[in-house]
Chain A
Amino acid sequence: MTPLVDPLLSGPIGLQEILVVVFKVVVAFAFLMVAVMFMVWFERKLIGDMQNRIGPNRAGPWGILQTLADGVKLFFKEDLLPDNADRFVFKLAPYLALIPAFLIFTVVPVGGNYSTGDGTVSLFGEETLLQVADPPVGVLFVLAMSSVAVYGVMLAGWSSGSKYPLLGSVRATAQMISYEAALSLSVLSVILLSGTLSTSGIVAEQSQWNWNLWLTGFIPFAIFLISGTAELNRPPFDLVEAEQELVGGFHTEYSAVRFALFFLAEFMNTVTMSAIIVTLFLGGPNGPMFGPEWLQSWVLPSLWFFLKLFVFLFVFVWFRATLPRFRYDQLMDMGWKLLIPAALGWFLILAGIQVASDNDDINLALVVIVGVAIFFAGMGLLMLAMRSSRRQRQLSGVTD
Chain B
Amino acid sequence: MGQYLPIFALLVLASLFAAVSFAASRLLNPPHPTPAKTVPYECGIIDAKEPPERFPVKFFLVAMIFIVFDIEIIFLYPFAVVYRSLGLFGLVALAIFAALVFESFVYLISNGALDWGPAKHLRRRSPMVDSLRTADTTVKRVGTDGREAAA
Which residues of A are interface residues toward B (Cβ below 8 A)? 5-6, 9-10, 13, 21-22, 24-26, 28-29, 74-84, 94-95, 98-99, 102-103, 106, 132-136, 140-141, 160-164, 166-167, 170, 173-174, 177-178, 180-181, 184-185, 188, 191-192, 195-197, 247, 252-253, 256-258, 260-261, 328-329, 332-333, 336-337, 340-341, 344, 347-348, 351-352, 354-355, 358-359, 362, 378, 381-382, 384-386, 388-389, 392-393, 396-400
User: A78-B29, A80-B31, A196-B81 in contact; A9/B5 too (CB < 8 A)?
Assistant: yes
B1-32 residues with Cβ-Cβ distance < 8 A to A are 2-7, 9-11, 13-15, 17-18, 21-22, 24-26, 28-29, 31-32
Contact check, A81 vs B109: say whether CB atoms are below 8 A apart: no
**Residues on B with beta carbons closer than 8 Å to the beta carbon of A384:** 110
**Residues on A with beta carbons closer than 8 Å to the beta carbon of B39:** 82-83
Q: In the docked arrangement, what's the CA distance between A398 and B51, Å?
A: 28
B53-87 residues with Cβ-Cβ distance < 8 A to A are 55, 58-59, 62-63, 65-66, 69-70, 72-73, 76-77, 79-81, 83-84, 87
Contact check, B102 vs A344: say whether CB atoms are below 8 A apart: yes
**Residues on A with beta carbons closer than 8 Å to the beta carbon of B80:** 188, 191-192, 347, 351
Listed by A's residue number, 6 A-B pairs whose Cβ atoms lie within 8 Å are A80-B37, A99-B15, A191-B81, A195-B84, A256-B29, A362-B88
Q: In the docked arrangement, what's the CA distance between A6 and B6, Å?
A: 11
Nearest CB of A to B57, in Å: 12
Contact check, A177 vs B83: say whether CB atoms are below 8 A apart: no
**Residues on B with beta carbons closer than 8 Å to the beta carbon of A177:** 62-63, 66
Q: Does B91 contact A (CB under 8 A)?
A: yes
- Most chain A beta carbons < 10 A, residue from B21, B47, B80: B80
Nearest CB of A to B38, in Å: 5
Contact of A341 among B63, B70, B77, B102 (CB under 8 A): B102
Q: In the docked arrangement, what's the CA distance between A333 and B81, Å?
A: 30
User: A163-B51, A181-B73 in contact; A21/B40 too (CB < 8 A)?
Assistant: no
Nearest CB of B to A197, in Å: 6
**Residues on A with beta carbons closer than 8 Å to the beta carbon of B83:** 192, 351, 354-355
**Residues on A with beta carbons closer than 8 Å to the beta carbon of B88:** 355, 359, 362
Contact of B13 among A29, A84, A247, A260 (CB under 8 A): A29
Q: In the docked arrangement, what's the CA distance between A378 and B7, Å?
A: 42
Which residues of B are interface residues toward A (Cβ below 8 A)? 2-7, 9-11, 13-15, 17-18, 21-22, 24-26, 28-29, 31-33, 35, 37-41, 47, 49, 51-52, 55, 58-59, 62-63, 65-66, 69-70, 72-73, 76-77, 79-81, 83-84, 87-88, 90-91, 94-95, 98, 102, 105-107, 109-112, 114-118, 120-123
Contact of A82 among B17, B38, B63 (CB under 8 A): B38
**Residues on A with beta carbons closer than 8 Å to the beta carbon of B105:** 341
Contact check, B115 vs A133: say whether CB atoms are below 8 A apart: no
Q: In the complex, which residue of chain A has the Cβ closest to the Cβ of B67?
A: A177
Contact check, B14 vs A103: say whether CB atoms are below 8 A apart: yes
Contact check, B40 vs A253: say whether CB atoms are below 8 A apart: yes
**Residues on B with beta carbons closer than 8 Å to the beta carbon of A332:** 62, 114, 116
Q: In the docked arrangement, what's the CA distance between A197 and B3, Å?
A: 14
Contact check, B109 vs A386: say whether CB atoms are below 8 A apart: yes
Contact of B109 among A26, A94, A354, A382 (CB under 8 A): A382
Contact check, B18 vs A261: say whether CB atoms are below 8 A apart: yes
Contact check, B81 vs A399: say whether CB atoms are below 8 A apart: no
Contact of B38 among A80, A167, A180 (CB under 8 A): A80
Q: In the complex, which residue of chain B has the Cβ closest to the Cβ of A84?
A: B40
Contact of A252 among B22, B41, B109 (CB under 8 A): B41
User: A22-B9, A99-B18, A341-B102 in contact; A13/B2 too (CB < 8 A)?
Assistant: yes
Q: In the complex, which residue of chain B has the Cβ closest to the Cβ of A361?
A: B88
Contact check, B7 vs A348: say whether CB atoms are below 8 A apart: no
User: A181-B73, A389-B111, A399-B121 in contact; A253/B41 too (CB < 8 A)?
Assistant: yes
Nearest CB of A to B138, in Å: 27
The 6 closest A-B pairs by CB, nearest first: A329-B116, A162-B40, A385-B110, A257-B25, A9-B2, A133-B6
Contact check, B112 vs A389: say whether CB atoms are below 8 A apart: yes
Contact of A81 among B10, B11, B33, B120 (CB under 8 A): B33
**Residues on B with beta carbons closer than 8 Å to the beta carbon of A180:** 66
**Residues on A with beta carbons closer than 8 Å to the beta carbon of B115:** 329, 389, 393
**Residues on A with beta carbons closer than 8 Å to the beta carbon of B109:** 336-337, 382, 385-386, 389
Q: In the docked arrangement, what's the CA distance between A392 and B106, Å?
A: 15
Q: In the docked arrangement, what's the CA distance between A32 and B82, Å?
A: 35
User: A161-B40, A162-B40 in contact; A132/B7 too (CB < 8 A)?
Assistant: yes
Contact check, A25 vs B9: say whether CB atoms are below 8 A apart: yes
**Residues on A with beta carbons closer than 8 Å to the beta carbon of B121:** 398-399
Nearest CB of B to A39, in Å: 18
Contact check, A247 vs B41: say whether CB atoms are below 8 A apart: yes
Contact check, B3 vs A5: say whether CB atoms are below 8 A apart: yes
User: A29-B14, A95-B18, A135-B4 in contact; A197/B81 too (CB < 8 A)?
Assistant: yes
Contact of A103 among B11, B25, B123 (CB under 8 A): B11
